[in-house]
Amino acid sequence: MALKKVKGSLERVFDKNLHDLVRGIRNHKDDEAKFIAQCIDEIKQELRQDNIAVKANAVAKLTYLQMLGYDISWAAFNVIEVMSSNKFTFKRIGYLAASQSFHEETEVLMLTTNMIRKDLSSQNQYDAAIALNGLSCFMTPDLARDLANDVMTLMTSTRPYIRKRAVLIMYKIFLKFPEALRPAFPRLKEKLEDPDPGVQSAAVNVICELARKNPKNYLSLAPVFFKLMTSSTNNWVLIKIIKLFGALTPLEPRLGKKLIEPLTNLIHSTSAMSLLYECINTVIAVLISLSSGMPNHNASIQLCVQKLRILIEDSDQNLKYLGLLAMSKILKTHPKSVQAHKDLILQCLDDKDESIRLRALDLLYGMVSKKNLMEIVRKLMVHMDKAEGSMYRDELLSKIVQICSQNNYQYITNFEWYVSVLVELTRVEGTRHGSVIASQMLDVAIRVKAIRAFAVEQMAQLLENSHTVASSAQRNGICEVLYAAAWIAGEFSEHLRDPRGTLDDMLRQKVTSLPGHIQAVFVQNIMKLYAAILVKYEEDEDNDGIREVSDLLVEKLPMFVQSGDLEVQERACCILQLMKYVKKLQDKDVSCADEVAALFAGELNPVAPKAQRKVAVPEGLDLDKWINDPPSDSSDDEGPANSLFIPDDSRMMNESMTRPVVEELSDDELERRREARRAETQNNPHYLKLGASAKGSKYQEVVNVEDIPVANIDLSVPLYVPVTENSPQSTKRLSDKYLEAERQARKRDKKRRHGKKSKRRHKSESEEDVPVVHKVDIMGGEMPEGATESGDEGNLELDDNDPHKLLDIDLDRPLDADEKLPVRTHRIVSPSAEDRPVEEKKKHHRKDKEKEKKRKEKEKKKSKKEKKRNKSGDDSAHPSLLIATELMSPGHEAIPSPGEEEEVAPPSAPVKKDTTPKKEEPKDDLDFWLSGQDAPVAVEVTAPEPGAAADVDSDAEDTSRHKKKKEKKAKKEKKEKKEKKEKKKKSKVANDEDVDSGRRDGFEELNSDGPPLPPMSSYRLLAEDSNIKMTYETRVQSQQGQQLIVSVIFTSLAEQHLKSLEFNVMDSLNTKMDRLPGATTHDGVPVPFQLPPNSFNEGQFAFQVQSINVAQKLRGTLTYTIKTEESSTSEKLDFKLYLPCTAFLIATPCSSDAFARLLQGGELSSKYSIKLSSGGAPFSHVLAKVCFYGHFAIVEQIDQSASLYSCSTQGHHICLLVKANGGGDVSIDGKCADGSLLSNVMEEIKVTAS
Amino acid sequence: MIKAIVVFNNHGKPRLIKFFQHYNEDMQQQIVRETFHLVSKRDENVCNFLEGGRWASGKNSDPENLIGGSDYKIIYRHYATLYFVFCVDSSESELGILDLIQVFVETLDKAFENVCELDLIFHVDKVHYILQELVMGGMVLETNMTEIVTRIEEQSKLEKSEAGLAGAPARVVSAAKNLDLPKLPSNIQLPNLPSFR
């Protein structure tokens, strides 16, 4: 017992692990907070200890507490300590805690950059993975900037596990550091065709996220995605791509056309519901983007609707829901197709699932017709009574209003019914849609003249019972309807049965509890009513009445004068003074009714929402000009001025309240305009004219309210049932009587028809059969003279705060020289950068640009690799000096499994990988792709043949094959289209060649009609034996003047595994190989991979070179082990590594102006000339060879001569003039500051180019 | 993008919280509470989606409102005593996310051998690690269950191999704890003992 106690107390003092914490919390249910506070104290103590295990344990506990809602940001530094542990276990705990609690504002994050960088490059892939995972949760702009380059490197890791994470995290980097997008995009694009499906899916994921916000920048990727869509079998990828296409189609209708067929195929073939659903969605998007009416698209719609019906009929509620969701998208453009499934949708209204009912409600919008509107609305009203929760009820309410009012009340045949419905809706408890109902009441009363008498009566009722609705003074609550009621009763007071009674209702004390803007309307309309009453009394010469009503007003109005609302106060004051004046007159027995009534003379018409904007600016008025000089800077104290008046959300009412310009016009003018309007409406068939029913139309005859047959049938139902007594369940709805009446009328109608047995019987279902009782004044609202309604202006713009706004970056524009990912360097010494000729912003040829783009991309790649290497050279903490694109640990790796082999062996030389023709298709190609064929043709990419040196060769072959293909396709086209196609084909061919030429470092003009260029490869053979072959290429980078990378491709020729490869070169005085720290010059550099049979891989080795003006020949040895099942033997292969002077040249573009300045500057003192024989090859070929092997860029080419320019890594400018002297001889004159460099370079050129 | 993943039980107790955009702890708890409020009142056999805009229109403190508006959907599944709730935007496929939840739960089931709520309570860290194999930074990373399970197992092995080293002194310490020592040195320096291996 005692022991147990001791143990317990000890445990609490010391090392309580996560388990104990959780258990403890569960055992302290009553005083949890206290217990946790105690635990946090312990944790703080633990964090003070030096032992990392104890700290990690404490951090693990904190992570748990964080989930319970405790702030653990105070331990951020300790979390970083744990993250920096060498042990995976602790590191993982640390990163988890960081990912849960760190965010952009966490200050200690700036301490983590180097640690994370180290973890990213860790040899343990799980270390790198947890670092990437953590980073994805707490990326900051600083981290993004500093680590972008490291992540870029990881994107080419040999392990898919790391690659896919690196690809995904790029998205987070882009968000925080948009400048990274353009430099990183080519590689991201490459990853779309990664052999690993996980990486591919990650790349698709990232690009989809990017494209979702800025789709137009990604249109050019459509062909790649299209190919993926037709080839991928991964449903995740497919769904993403198909969703992306859905976002792209609105921008490019031609894309839609191309998509329809493969999507339809997928719809037919797939068994995955998720994929089916997304396909349907995108087909719908396509159909929306296409101008409808094409017959074969009708089939697609039918297919979609059909499939959706299957979804909706499914017992799975999720499918039902999604089916309805997609259906509502179709509804917008193809309502007819959806209407066919009305039965199904009405059925869904009764579903027990609220989400589904809401979806069905959305669809109802398109389901209604003149005939079933009443029925449907009644159904909804029943739902509304049953509905639980005000949310759904509100939704129903707004839907009812929306359905009824759509298309200018197109489906409403009887407005008495509609007004009754609106009045009934005021009984809905706790609705927030009072203003919606109010605006409907106003709209109907104003625009349907025939209904005014009825509406006014109903409004009088509402006012009489105002105490019920006024009880909830909540904004937007149901009391808003009183606004409409008061206005209608006042404005159309001539229809009031008992104006005096209504006036009394409006003057009740209770009214002052209403919101200000409603009271204001009350005040105004009390006056209108008064005017009407006055006129009537004066006619009747009822002087007592006049006196009485005037007294009443004078007595009651002060209650408004005391209102806290300024608007009410102002109006009330004004009117009270007016009343006092009127009363004074009345006391003198002057009849002033007409004058008072004249205050409110004139008809009010709704003003179109856009009317204000359409008012033309008078000539000579400059709205931007200051009227007075602007005030200095005291604009702060100007408060919001408009809050005094009715806020914007009631704009509709506001507008109908505002007396339009008419008010200021003289009577003559007024009359003239009315006349004009009358004349105009005379010709407008939609405009209802009071009493003008002698048109012969059978339906218009019944316009007169008194004549409506329904009214006669239901006289027994009291029209004036007070609303309150109309309790929802017990009494029949007021509006129901219209429904019944209609039903009966229809029955009668049918009988009659039946009797007649008319031939028109089949037509009896048609819409026109429903008698229209009232018609709506379709007038859109008053507009200033000459202005017309126009479509909505204003595009959808991304919010300024949206990080994606910054990512709206043109990705097709070639990279600029300064667009590079920031790389951590100690000191950038770039002698070449300073005196390199300034590139002038001249008008470049398109081809030039193209070329430049390619070159820069390539250069960038190189630079990255080199910098990476350089970094590791600087940082002694990094054990590996290898720049290899792979971050494999030497010797640590198990023998690659067969699955991994493929990744180890990319189809072609890795450097060239990015330049396969397909991926670099320029924008014009997209046009071709889109316009080319209606039938989808999978854009084919022929994978370049494996084989190290064959890449250029295969590229060239590829291109020609490409051409042929297009030609074939073009032939298939119809004849009338043929010519157009031919043209495009030609442009395409030209494009292809552009791409091609761009690929050849510096080679520009290619004679398209000349013989094909001989294959050129920068890879040379290094050495070969029966087991292995090595080819190599040299790479340099402008800012690293003394550094040279030799990229060696090891190709296995053996049938066995080759392992323990070690590459060693004997250093010379001038040239030294970078080795592992601590290694002597006799130690080789281990090659970071093994070679399975028939595979190849690339390793890179860095050299430091002192002087570059002499070519180098270095002796070296490769040692490796052949592993068979029983034994392993060691082998050795000697080689000579030749590093020519041209290896240190970089083809740098130079404008002809800068070139001329260089030549005139006098700096380039040394001259050298050579002559070489072309051996019959055309000049262009010789030029191409010089550019390719010598690393020169063409500055200018005129006929048979050209000027070339190149810059060495150490900043030497070399200018060449190449001239063809008849007879196949080519002479080259060179100028450079360094004579020996120049002569060596030119001698090398002589060898390589002839 | 997935904006948040939350697992809570039938009483609304959080069992896993993963937000892919930052909220402070109070806000996180509020979101969990309100999500629970929305989700728990739904019947078993109704659809698994809740739409952002609509629900957010009710109160302005609704979770979807917090998480960003009408573009967002809540997609959830209810297993025994646990709700798995994903909040996603419109770039995710609804049915796809339902599948993902299924993959997640099945992976948990494999990793814990008949997973139950207790596993999540006591091993929330492990659940996080499993989730990290599925989703990264709000984007779906891997959906192949065998691949995920393999990776999890490899990491567990790695952890165990390290524990062989660190675990030994820890065991000694815990043994020492059981002794009735009058005073323990306030900070025991637990040495890393590489020579033990």
Window from A358-372, A859-873, A1086-1100, A1205-1219 with minimum mean pLDDT? A859-873
| CB-CB under 8 Å, B132 with A133 | yes
CA-based nearest residue to A452, from A603, A607, A295: A603
To test the contact with chain B by mutation, choose from A103, A355, A358 the residue with the greatest count of B C-beta atoms within 10 A, namely A355
Could you tell me which residue, A869 or A347, shows the higher pLDDT? A347
CA B135 to each of CA A98, A131, A237, A1243, B5: distance values in angstroms, whole numbers, following the listed order: 17, 14, 15, 58, 10
Residues of A in contact with B41 (CB under 8 A): none
Residue A955, pLDDT score: 46
Residue A348, pLDDT score: 86
Residue A805, pLDDT score: 74
CA-based nearest residue to A422, from A407, A430, A433: A433
Could you tell me which residue, A953 or A305, shows the higher pLDDT? A305
Residues of A in contact with B51 (CB under 8 A): 355
Nearest CA distance, A1133 vs chain B (angstrom): 38
Nearest CA distance, A227 vs chain B (angstrom): 21
Q: Which amino acid is at A1082?
A: H
| CB-CB under 8 Å, B132 with A168 | no
| CB-CB under 8 Å, A168 with B137 | yes
Whether A664 has a pLDDT exceeding 80, the answer reads: no
Contact A518, A489 (CB under 8 A): no
Nearest CA distance, B84 vs chain A (angstrom): 15
Residue A63, pLDDT score: 94
Residue A435, pLDDT score: 84
The pLDDT confidence band at residue A82, using thresholds 50, 70 and 90, is: very high
| CB-CB under 8 Å, B26 with A317 | no
| CB-CB under 8 Å, B166 with A53 | yes
The 10s digit of each residue's pLDDT in A1143-1175 is 888 888 788 888 888 888 777 888 888 888 777
Q: Which amino acid is at A1173?
A: S
Of A50, A63, A164, the CB nearest to B141: A164
As a dihedral over the C-alpha atoms of residue A186, residue A188, residue A189, residue A194, rounded to 10 degrees, the angle is 130
Of A89, A205, A278, the CB nearest to B140: A205
* DSSP 8-state secondary structure symbol assigned to residue A1096: E
3-state secondary structure at position B85: strand
Residue A1145, pLDDT score: 84
Residue of A nearest to B26 (CA): A69
CA A587 to each of CA A211, A500, A596, B29: distance values in angstroms, whole numbers, following the listed order: 78, 21, 15, 72
For A184-236, the DSSP string reads: HHHHHHHGGG-SSHHHHHHHHHHHHHHHHHSGGGGGGGHHHHHHHHHH---HH
Q: Give chain B's end-to-end CA distance (angstroms, integer).
A: 45
Report chain B's mean pLDDT, rounded to a whole number.
77
CB atoms within 10 A of CB A794: 5
- How many CA within 13 A on the CB side of residue A600? 22
The 10s digit of each residue's pLDDT in A204-236 is 999 999 988 888 888 888 888 998 888 888 888
| CB-CB under 8 Å, B142 with A391 | no
Burial of A388 (0-12, 13-18, 19+ CB in 10 A): exposed
Whether A68 has a pLDDT exceeding 80, the answer reads: yes
Of B1, B29, B151, the CB nearest to A69: B29
* DSSP 8-state secondary structure symbol assigned to residue A723: G
| CB-CB under 8 Å, B55 with A100 | no
As a dihedral over the C-alpha atoms of residue A664, residue A670, residue A672, residue A678, rounded to 10 degrees, the angle is 130
Most confident of A494-508, A860-874, B52-66: A494-508
Buried b / exposed e over A1105-1120, threshold 16 CB at 10 Å, is beebbebbebebebbb
Helix A125-138 × helix A113-120 angle, to 10°:
140
Whether A878 has a pLDDT exceeding 70, the answer reads: no
| Pairwise CA distance, residues A254 & A884, whole Å | 43
Instruction: Kindly calculate the radius of gyration of chain A based on its CA atoms and give it in whole angstroms.
Output: 42
Q: What mean pLDDT do residues A722-743 have?
A: 55
Residues of A in contact with B178 (CB under 8 A): 7, 10
| Pairwise CA distance, residues A514 & A506, whole Å | 12
Nearest CA distance, A777 vs chain B (angstrom): 33
Contact A211, A244 (CB under 8 A): yes
Contact A348, B40 (CB under 8 A): no
Look at strands A1020-1024 and A1225-1232 and give their pairing.
unpaired
Window from A417-431, A933-947, B113-127 with minimum mean pLDDT? A933-947
| CB-CB under 8 Å, A352 with B43 | yes
Could you tell me which residue, A76 or A913, shows the higher pLDDT? A76
Report chain A's mean pLDDT, rounded to a whole number.
74
SS (H, E, C) A299-337: HHHHHHHHHHHHHHHCCCHHHHHHHHHHHHHHHHHCHHH
- How many CA within 13 A on the CB side of residue A39? 29
CA-based nearest residue to A277, from B94, B41, B77: B94
Q: Which amino acid is at A1054?
A: A
Nearest CA distance, B177 vs chain A (angstrom): 6
| CB-CB under 8 Å, A100 with B18 | yes
Residues of B in contact with A50 (CB under 8 A): 187, 189
Of B95, B139, B144, the CB nearest to A168: B139
Window from A430-439, A722-731, B51-60 with minimum mean pLDDT? A722-731
| CB-CB under 8 Å, B187 with A51 | yes
Nearest CA distance, B96 vs chain A (angstrom): 6
Instruction: Kindly calculate the radius of gyration of chain B based on its CA atoms and give it in whole angstroms.
Output: 21
Buried b / exposed e over A1214-1239, threshold 16 CB at 10 Å, is bbbbbbbeeeeebebebbbebeebbb
Of B50, B93, B129, the CB nearest to A92: B129
| Pairwise CA distance, residues A1081 & A1085, whole Å | 10
Residue A292, pLDDT score: 52
Nearest CA distance, B104 vs chain A (angstrom): 15
Could you tell me which residue, A246 or A777, shows the higher pLDDT? A246
Burial of A839 (0-12, 13-18, 19+ CB in 10 A): middle
- How many CA within 13 A on the CB side of residue A506? 34
| CB-CB under 8 Å, A14 with B29 | no
Residues of B in contact with A60 (CB under 8 A): 125
Of B43, B50, B125, the CB nearest to A63: B125
Residues of A in contact with B4 (CB under 8 A): none
| CB-CB under 8 Å, B177 with A11 | yes
Whether A238 has a pLDDT exceeding 80, the answer reads: yes
Q: What mean pLDDT do residues A798-812 have?
A: 70
Most confident of A401-405, A608-612, A1194-1198: A401-405
Encoded tokens for A542: 């009822």
| Pairwise CA distance, residues A883 & A881, whole Å | 6
| Pairwise CA distance, residues A107 & A59, whole Å | 18
| CB-CB under 8 Å, A318 with B48 | yes
Residues of A in contact with B47 (CB under 8 A): 317-318, 320-321, 353, 355-356
Owner of token pair 């037919």: A268
For A1112-1172, the DSSP string reads: EEEEEEEEEEEE-SS-EEEEEEEEEEEE-GGGGEE-----HHHHHHHHHHS---EEEEEEE
To test the contact with chain B by mutation, choose from A32, A67, A807 the residue with the greatest count of B C-beta atoms within 10 A, namely A67
| Pairwise CA distance, residues A303 & A299, whole Å | 6
The 10s digit of each residue's pLDDT in A1128-1143 is 788 888 888 888 888 8
The pLDDT confidence band at residue A137, using thresholds 50, 70 and 90, is: very high
The pLDDT confidence band at residue B147, using thresholds 50, 70 and 90, is: very high
The backbone torsions φ and ψ at residue A1212, rounded to the nearest 5 degrees and listed phi first, read -80, 135
Of A22, A201, A274, the CB nearest to B99: A274
Most confident of A726-730, A757-761, A1217-1221: A1217-1221
Q: What mean pLDDT do residues A255-275 have?
A: 87
The backbone torsions φ and ψ at residue A1062, rounded to the nearest 5 degrees and listed phi first, read -135, 130
Burial of B186 (0-12, 13-18, 19+ CB in 10 A): exposed
| Pairwise CA distance, residues A167 & A160, whole Å | 10
Region of A27 on the Ramachandran plot (φ > 0 left; ψ -120 to 50 alpha; else beta): alpha
Q: What mean pLDDT do residues A291-313 have?
A: 78
3-state secondary structure at position B25: helix
Whether A858 has a pLDDT exceeding 70, the answer reads: no
The pLDDT confidence band at residue B148, using thresholds 50, 70 and 90, is: very high
Contact A387, A393 (CB under 8 A): yes
To test the contact with chain B by mutation, choose from A11, A16, A51 the residue with the greatest count of B C-beta atoms within 10 A, namely A51
| Pairwise CA distance, residues A1238 & A1229, whole Å | 10
Nearest CA distance, A1126 vs chain B (angstrom): 29
Tally C-beta pairs within 8 A across A and B.
174
| CB-CB under 8 Å, B95 with A277 | yes
| CB-CB under 8 Å, A71 with B139 | no
3-state secondary structure at position A1231: strand
The pLDDT confidence band at residue A925, using thresholds 50, 70 and 90, is: low
Encoded tokens for A556: 């009651």
Q: What mean pLDDT do residues A862-883 have?
A: 44
Strand partners, A965: none
Residues of A in contact with B55 (CB under 8 A): 391
Residues of A in contact with B93 (CB under 8 A): 239, 243, 274, 277-278
Of A92, A124, A356, the CB nearest to B47: A356
Could you tell me which residue, A390 or A251, shows the higher pLDDT? A251
Could you tell me which residue, A470 or A905, shows the higher pLDDT? A470
Residue A665, pLDDT score: 52
Could you tell me which residue, A784 or A110, shows the higher pLDDT? A110
Residues of A in contact with B182 (CB under 8 A): none
Of A103, A201, A358, the CB nearest to B22: A103
Contact A373, A380 (CB under 8 A): no
Q: What mean pLDDT do residues A620-627 have?
A: 80
Q: What mean pLDDT do residues A878-888 have?
A: 39
Residue B115, pLDDT score: 86
| Pairwise CA distance, residues A1046 & A1135, whole Å | 14
| CB-CB under 8 Å, B177 with A7 | yes
Encoded tokens for A191: 């990853």
Residue of A nearest to B18 (CA): A100
| Pairwise CA distance, residues A915 & A920, whole Å | 7
| CB-CB under 8 Å, B142 with A164 | yes
CA A121 to each of CA A702, A862, A877, A889, A1061: distance values in angstroms, whole numbers, following the listed order: 86, 19, 11, 10, 22
| CB-CB under 8 Å, B143 with A87 | no
Residues of B in contact with A13 (CB under 8 A): 184
| CB-CB under 8 Å, B190 with A53 | yes
Residues of A in contact with B1 (CB under 8 A): 209
Max CA-CA distance within chain B?
64
| Pairwise CA distance, residues A1149 & A1194, whole Å | 7
The pLDDT confidence band at residue A365, using thresholds 50, 70 and 90, is: confident
